[in-house]
Chains A and B, each alone.
Chain A
Amino acid sequence: MSECIVITSGKGGVGKTTTTANLGVALAMQGARVCVVDADIGLRNLDVILGLENRIVYDLVQYIEGKCRLSQALIRDKREENLYLLPAAQTREKTAVSPYQMRELIYELKQDFHYILVDCPAGIEQGFKNAIAGADRAIVVTTPEMSAIRDADRIIGLIEAAELPEPHLLINRYRDGMVRRGDMLNKDDILEILATPLLGVIPEAEDIIISANRGYPVSYLPNSPVGGAYRNMARRINGDFDNMESLNQNKGLWNSVKRWIGIDSFSEVNG
C-alpha cells in the first residue's frame, strides 16, 4: 500500500524542506521505497538539502508537459538506493501545474513507491493547492513562535476544508533551555492551542545547518541526536499514526519531550 504525505506549514522558513529530506532518508533507511517530491516550483531547494543539485536533468514540470519520462525525471539518491527525488522546475511558476495534474502524478508514483513525501511551498495559494492535491494526509511543521503557530492553525483549517484526515504536528527548532526558563512556548502549550496530534519534536541544533552545508541529511548520521529524532519519527509514520494517541496523553514536560525527541542519549551528548 502506498501513501502520499504532504509536509506543509503556511509560514516559510520553519523547516519543511529539511523535514521532507530527513523523513525521506529515514523511511528509506527503514526499507521503504520513498520518493520525495519538490512542489516548490520556481524556488526549489530539496535538491540542495539532499546534495543532489548537480544531478538534475529533467524536472516535475517537464514530466507533466510530456517532455520526458517519469524515470528520467527521478533522481536516485547517491547513498540510499530506496530514495528518489523528483525535483521542481527552477525557472517556472506555480501555475505551470494544476492540482489535477499533481493528482495524476502522485497516482503514477504510487505504482512504484511506498511513500511519496511532498515538500509544499510556503503560502496558501496555488502551490499549496497543488501540493495537497494528491496527498492522503499531511504533516504540519511549526516552530514555538507566534507567527509560525498562527500560520499552522490556518493551514490546519485549510487541510480540513480539503477533506484530508486530521494532520499531525511536527514542532521544529525546540529550545529546551528557553522552554525551561519559561521563555518559549512548550510542547503542551502548542498542542493545546492547535489541538492537533503530535508526530514529534525536533530540537534546534547546529547539526542541521552543517548538514545543509554539506548536502548530507542528519538522518544518515548514526550518532546525531537530531538524526535519531527523525528516524524515530519515521518509525512512527511506518507504524500507525493512530498508535500515537496514547503517547499524546503523556504528562511531565521534559520526560515527554525526551520521549518525543526519541533520545535518552540526548542528555549524555549535551553533558
Chain B
Amino acid sequence: MSSEADASKADRPRAFSARVRLAGSTIARVGGLLIAVIIIMTLFAAASDGRFLSFNNLLGLLRYMSTVAIVGLGLTLVIVVGEIDLSFASVYGFSAMVVAVSWILWGVPIYVAIPLGLLAAVLVGAFNGFFTTIVGIPSFIATLGSSTLVFGFTILISNTASFNPTYPPTGREIDPSQLDFFTGLSNQSLPLGFPMQALWMLGAAMIFAFLLGRSVFGFRLKAIGGNPQAARLARLPVRRYKIVAFVLCSTMAALAAILDFAFIGSTQVNAGQSLLFPVFAAVIIGGASLAGGRGTVVGTLGGALLLAVLANGLALISAGAFAQQMLLGTVTIAAVVLDRFTQKLR
C-alpha cells in the first residue's frame, strides 16, 4: 500500500520520504491498535454498565499502563537494535531495592539514593552490553544470566526483607521532608486528578520518540538492527550503540521501579518479576520485530494501553484471573500473526 501512495508524491522536492513510508506502516499499525482498543473498550463499557468509561477509571488506566510503557520504551530500543533483554524485570526489583536499602537502612539521603538506584541499573545495562557485544555471547543468554545474577544481589542486599519508608525498621529514622519528596515523585496532586506517573510516561515517551524517530541515534539503531553485518562493514558504531541501548533499557526499568516504589510506598524482593511478559507483549503488539530494525514509541505505548484496557476491563467485570492470562496470550499471538499477514500484503 505504501509504495503507491509514495509514487503519487514522487516529485515533491522535499519528500525524502523515508518518513512517508515509515509513517505509512506506523499509521497502519497504530490505527489497527487504536481500532482494537476502541472495540475492546466498547465491549467492556457495555459489559460493565458504563463504569469502565467513567473518568476516574480512564485516568486509572493511564496510571496502570505507565509502568509497562516506561519499561517498554527502553526495551523497544534493544529490540530495534536486534537484541533481547530478559533482565529488566530483575533490574526493576534491584534498583528499587538499592534505593530502599541505601536510604532506609544505610541512612543515605534520598537525593543520593535515587541516583544510586539508577547507577545500579546503568551498571547492569553496561554488563549486558559488554557480554553481548565485546565477549560476543547471545544477548538472550547474557541477559538471562544477568537477570538471575541481579536477582541474587537483590536478595543479598535486602536479606529478603520488605521496605516501607513510612514504617522504617526499629532504630531507623526517615527525614519527613525526604519522605515527602519521595512520595511526591508519583503522588503530586495534579489538576483533574491526572496521575503523576502518566506524566512521567508522557515525558519519557517524548524523549524516546525523539531518540528513535528524529535523531541520528535512532536512525542508526534501525540500520544496525536491520542488518548488523552491513552496519559493521559501513563502519557504523555497532557495539557502542548496542551498549547504549542496553543501558537505556535498564535505566528505564529502574525509573519505573522508583516511581512505582514511590507510589505504592513499599518494595520487596520479588518486585517487578511479573513484568517480564507484559512488557515484551506490549512491545511486540506495538509492532517491533524481534528480528530487529523495526519498532516505534507510539506502537509500544499502544501495546501498553491495550494490555491495560484488557486487565482493567476484565477486573471490572470480575472475569477471573484465568481470563486475563488467556486473553493476554491470545492477543500477543494474534498481533504478531496479523503483522505477518499485513507484511505479506505490502
Is chain B a partner of chain A in the same complex? no
Interface on B for A, CB 8 Å cutoff? none
